[in-house]
Amino acid sequence: MSSATVTEHCPHWCAGEHAADSYGAAFYHASETTSVTISRPSGLTTPDRLDVQTAQYLPDDPGEPAWSPTVEITVHAGGRYRLIGLTPEEARDFAAMLASAADMVSATGGGGRGSG
């Protein structure tokens, strides 16, 4: 665990511009949101959109250490949504699982991904 305190600037991945004197208004840093639209027949309970965003929440007291950044997946389904927060490490594992699962069913032949 690092003992990083609340920084004076946004982290490099933050899409906003949160100056140190505006912490009262902005309580977290957030990256730009990327979305995957899922094309499925409506009426099913499958999600219709996934948003992915990196966020770092800040404590009320600027003297306290900032919380660790999290990778947030927002699952939109039927007008509702559910938020899943992952640590960067968990998100990386998850992404690798998705990629390898996709590779398994991908019919493009000759993936060309080396193992090193």
- Collapsing DSSP to helix, strand or coil, 28 comes out as strand
Work out whether 29 is an interface residue with Zn ion (CB under 5 A).
yes
Alpha-helix residue ranges (DSSP H) falling in the chain: 88-105
Work out whether 14 is an interface residue with Zn ion (CB under 5 A).
yes
Choice between 48 and 51, CB closer to Zn ion: 51
Query: Residue 46 and residue 43: Cα distance in Å, rounded?
Result: 8
* Of 66, 39, 61, 60, the residue nearest 50 (C-alpha): 39
Work out whether 6 is an interface residue with Zn ion (CB under 5 A).
no
Size of the site for Zn ion (CB under 5 A): 5
Choice between 18 and 47, CB closer to Zn ion: 18
Q: Which residues bind Zn ion (CB under 5 A)?
A: 10, 14, 16, 18, 29
